Amino acid sequence: MRDFAQDRIDAALTGMRYPCERQELVRHATAQGADDEVIGRLCVLPEHHYADLADVHAALERTTHDSGSARPSPTTSQTDAARGPDRRTEV
């Protein structure tokens, strides 16, 4: 059964070019205006070469079953990294 977040993930990844890496998924979703929950779910995906959206959903399912809990929200550094180097804050 699909949940509301899966539909939001689909919307955030509309137009995504596959195959791609996790960080590309996060950058694309961020550029599409995805909310923190969607970005958080994508940020916890394993580093992997994702062939298509079905591959992303399969990885999300595995991550859910492995953790047994809801996804954490992304940290500031994860969302800053997803936005690209031009939006990172120098420390």
* Greater model confidence, 1 or 10: 10
pTM of the full predicted structure?
A: 0.70
Residue 91 is assigned to a structural domain of this protein: no
Residues 33, 56, 51, CA angle at the centre, nearest 5°?
Answer: 110
pLDDT digits (tens, 9 = 90+) for 15-71: 999 999 999 999 999 999 999 999 999 999 999 999 999 999 999 999 877 655 444
Give the closest residue to 35 by CA, choosing from 7, 63, 2.
7
- Range of the structural domain that residue 25 is part of: 4-80
Query: What pLDDT score was predicted for residue 71?
Result: 43
Residue 69 is assigned to a structural domain of this protein: yes
- Strands (DSSP E) found in the chain: 20-21, 49-50
Structurally, the chain folds into a number of domains equal to 1
Residue 85 is assigned to a structural domain of this protein: no
Residue 27 is assigned to a structural domain of this protein: yes
Query: What pLDDT score was predicted for residue 64?
Result: 76
Query: What pLDDT score was predicted for residue 35?
Result: 96
Residue 56 is assigned to a structural domain of this protein: yes
Residue 9 is assigned to a structural domain of this protein: yes
Residue that is written with structure tokens 């899966």 in the block: 6
